[in-house]
Amino acid sequence: MSLHGIRTVAALELRQRARTSRWPVVLLLWFLLVAGVTSLSYAALNNASVKAGPTLYDVTTFLVLGLSMLVVPSLTATSVNGDREAGVLATLQTTLLTPADIIVGKLVSSWVIALVFLAVSSPFLLWAWVAGGIGIGQVVGSLLVLAFVLAVTCAIGLAFSTLTARTVASAVLTYLAIATLVFGTVIVFLLSFFLVQSREQVRYYGIPDSFWAAQTKNDDGSISPDSVIPTVADCRHLTREETVIHTERIWWLLPMNPFVVVADAAPGRTAPGPTAYSGVQPMRAISIGARSARAGADGRERQECDFGGGGGPAALPPLQSGPIYPYGLVFYLALGAGATWLAIRRTRTPVTRLPNGTRIA
Amino acid sequence: MRRAFGSVLAVDDISLVARPGEVTALVGPNGAGKTTLLLMLATLLVPDHGTIRIEGFDPVTQPAEVRARIGWMPDGFGTWDALTVREVLHTIGAAYRMGPAEARARTEAVLELLHLGDLADRRARVLSRGQKQRLGLARALLHDPSVLLLDEPASGLDPRSRIELRDVLRTMAADGKTVLVSSHILTELQEVADRAVIVARGRTTQDQTLDATELATTVGTWRITSLDADRLRQWLGERHVPWRAELAAVVVQVGGEEQAARLLADLVADGIRVIAFAPSHGALEAAYLAATEDRQ
What confidence tens digit (pLDDT) does each residue in B14-38 have? 888 888 998 988 888 877 778 888 8
For residues B263-268, average pLDDT:
87
Look at B72 and A94 and tell me if their CB atoms are within 8 Å: yes
**Burial of A258 by CB count in 10 Å (0-12 exposed, 13-18 middle, 19+ buried)?**
buried
pLDDT surpassing 80 at residue B266: yes
Tally A–B CB contacts below 8 A.
90
Let me know how many helices (H) and strands (E) chain B has, helices first.
11, 12
Instruction: Give the tens place of pLDDT for each residue, B70-124.
Output: 999 988 778 888 899 999 999 999 999 999 999 999 999 999 988 888 889 988 8
- Chain A residues close to B148, C-beta within 8 Å: none
Which of A19, A86, A360 has its CB closest to that of B45?
A360
CA distance A200 to A195: 15
Which of B42, B76, B95 has its CB closest to that of A87?
B76
pLDDT of residue A132: 62
pLDDT surpassing 90 at residue A45: no
What's the Rg (C-alpha) of chain B?
Answer: 23
Look at A94 and B78 and tell me if their CB atoms are within 8 Å: no
CA distance B117 to B50: 42
Spatial contact of B224 and B252, defined as CB atoms under 8 Å apart? yes
Closest Cα in chain B, distance from residue A93 (Å): 8
What value, to the nearest 5°, has the Cα angle with vertex A68 and ends A67 and A70? Answer: 70
For residues A227-249, average pLDDT:
82
Q: Which residues pair with B25 in a beta bridge?
A: B181, B196
- Chain A residues close to B40, C-beta within 8 Å: 350
- Chain A residues close to B68, C-beta within 8 Å: 96
Instruction: Give the tens place of pLDDT for each residue, A75-111.
Output: 899 999 999 888 899 999 999 999 999 999 999 999 9
pLDDT of residue A186: 94
- The pLDDT mean for chain B works out to 83
Closest Cα in chain B, distance from residue A95 (Å): 6
Instruction: Give the tens place of pLDDT for each residue, B232-256.
Output: 888 888 888 888 887 778 888 877 7
Q: Considering only A118-132, A138-152, A208-222, which range has the smallest mean pLDDT?
A: A208-222
For residues A213-238, average pLDDT:
72
pLDDT of residue A24: 85
Contacts of B81 (CB under 8 A, 6+ apart): A16, A20, B123, B124, B125
pLDDT of residue A48: 61
Which of B59, B75, B79 has its CB closest to that of A88?
B79
For residues A171-192, average pLDDT:
95
Strand B178-183 with B23-27, pairing: parallel
pLDDT of residue B148: 93
Instruction: Give the tens place of pLDDT for each residue, A297-335.
Output: 888 888 887 766 666 777 777 788 888 999 999 999 999
Look at A92 and B95 and tell me if their CB atoms are within 8 Å: yes
Q: Which CATH class is domain B3-210?
A: alpha beta
pLDDT of residue A274: 46
- Give ipTM to 2 decimals: 0.80
For residues A156-161, average pLDDT:
95
The strands making up B147-151's β-sheet, listed across from edge to edge, are B70-73, B147-151, B178-183, B23-27, B195-200, B203-209
Spatial contact of B259 and B279, defined as CB atoms under 8 Å apart? no
The structural architecture, per CATH, of the domain B214-295 is 2-Layer Sandwich (3.30)
Q: Considering only A2-11, A41-50, A102-111, B81-90, which range has the smallest mean pLDDT?
A: A41-50
pLDDT of residue A250: 92
pLDDT of residue A4: 92
Q: Which of A83, A96, A98 to mutate to test the interface with B (most CBs of B within 10 A)?
A: A96
Look at A354 and B82 and tell me if their CB atoms are within 8 Å: no
Furthest CA-CA distance within chain A: 92
Residue % of chain B over a pLDDT of 70: 87
Instruction: Give the tens place of pLDDT for each residue, A255-298.
Output: 999 999 988 887 655 555 444 444 567 788 888 888 888 888 88
Q: Select, from the ranges A56-60, A116-120, B252-256, the one with the highest average predicted confidence (pLDDT).
A: A116-120
Structural domain boundaries in chain B: 3-210, 214-295
